[in-house]
Chains A and B, each alone.
Chain A
Amino acid sequence: DAGVTQSPTHLIKTRGQHVTLRCSPISGHKSVSWYQQVLGQGPQFIFQYYEKEERGRGNFPDRFSARQFPNYSSELNVNALLLGDSALYLCASSWGTVLSTDTQYFGPGTRLTVL
Chain B
Amino acid sequence: AQKITQTQPGMFVQEKEAVTLDCTYDTSDPSYGLFWYKQPSSGEMIFLIYQGSYDQQNATEGRYSLNFQKARKSANLVISASQLGDSAMYFCAMAANQAGTALIFGKGTTLSVSS
Question: A35 to chain B: which residues have CB within 8 Å?
Answer: 102-103
Determine whether the beta carbon of A45 is less than 8 Å from that of B102: yes
| B32 interfacial by beta-carbon distance below 8 Å | yes
Do B107 and A42 have beta carbons less than 8 Å apart? Answer: yes
Within 8 A of B (CB), among A8-39: 33, 35
Residues of B within 8 A of A43 (CB): 45, 91, 103, 105
| Size of interface on B: residues with Cβ below 8 Å to A | 31
Name the residue on B nearest A109 (C-beta).
B43
Residues of A within 8 Å of B91, CB to CB, are 42-43
Query: Contact check: which of B42, B52, B108 meets A100 at CB < 8 Å?
Result: B52
With A42-B108, A98-B31, A101-B33 given, can you name 6 additional A-B contacts, CB distance below 8 Å?
Answer: A33-B102, A92-B102, A99-B33, A106-B44, A108-B43, A111-B43
> What residues of chain B have their CB less than 8 Å away from a CB belonging to chain A?
4, 29, 31-33, 35, 37, 42-47, 50, 52-53, 91, 93, 95-97, 99-108
A selection of 15 A-B contacts at a CB cut-off of 8 Å is A45-B101, A45-B102, A92-B45, A92-B102, A99-B96, A100-B29, A100-B52, A100-B53, A100-B96, A100-B97, A102-B95, A103-B35, A104-B103, A107-B44, A108-B44
